[in-house]
Amino acid sequence: MSDPITDRELIEKIKKGDTASFTLLVNRHKNYALTIATRITLVREEAEEVAHDAFIKAYSSLHQFKQDAKFTTWFYRIVVNMAISRVRKKKLSTIDIDQSNYAGADNSSQEKFDARDRSQLIQDAMRQLSEDDRMLISLYYLEELDMEELSEISGFDKNNLKVKLFRARKRLGQILQKSRELESVIH
């Protein structure tokens, strides 16, 4: 049995007009692109649009892709940039009241957060971070990219990236601490 076709081989076929190869490339990377976009936009429908638009941009820009780089790094950078742009454009719109941290909180007593409550608390805290902070934390901790890949995708040099990641973690920790303090006051 032969080895599976590589991204580079697919790209060469796409450049020669093979649209079926582009379908294979999309199918290979669509889940990860959607995951990255969702972590940045925080809205599944928006993330789907970002991922779709990123594939279109990648297709039209394949002639700019340098074969000495990994396709995934190049492509995920497109996804990240498009997701951040989408979020920045949306900041001009109003905030949905249902997304506020403690909308509808009642006085019922809860002894401890279960895993679902902690997950929601973290999601709420992530929404309060800047797009860059959210991207760095998501890609490093949730997607488990190494510093090299994260540097290539984010465009930050490694030393600057370490500082930015440290500060993003610190801001997330402060938001979570405030949320815990508020929760203890409510209950």
pLDDT at 115 over 60: no
Give the chain's radius of gyration (CA, Å).
Answer: 20
What pLDDT digit, counting tens, does each position of 2-17 carry?
568 999 999 999 999 9
CB atoms within 10 A of CB 69: 11
What is the pLDDT, as a whole number, of residue 96?
46
Would you give the DSSP letter of residue 140? I
What is the pLDDT, as a whole number, of residue 6?
92
Task: Give the pTM.
Answer: 0.62
pLDDT at 89 over 50: yes
Cα(112)–Cα(104) distance, integer angstroms: 19
Six-digit token pair at 1? 């049995």
| Mean pLDDT across the chain | 81
1.10.1740.10, 1.10.3470.10, 1.10.357.10, 3.40.190.10: CATH of 1-94 = 1.10.1740.10
What is the pLDDT, as a whole number, of residue 88?
81
**Domain limits of the chain?**
1-94, 105-187
Q: What percentage of the chain carries pLDDT values higher than 70? A: 81
Interior/surface letters 34-44, b for 16+ CB within 10 angstroms, e for the rest: bbbbbbbbbbe
Confidence band for 116, pLDDT divided at 50, 70 and 90: low
Would you give the DSSP letter of residue 17? T
Average pLDDT score over residue span 79-103: 66
Instruction: Indicate the fold that domain 105-187 takes in CATH.
Output: Arc Repressor Mutant, subunit A (1.10.10)
What is the pLDDT, as a whole number, of residue 103?
42
pLDDT at 101 over 70: no
What pLDDT digit, counting tens, does each position of 26-68 carry?
999 999 999 999 988 888 999 999 999 999 999 999 988 887 7
What is 103-127 written as a DSSP string? TT------SS--HHHHHHHHHHHHH
What is the pLDDT, as a whole number, of residue 9?
92
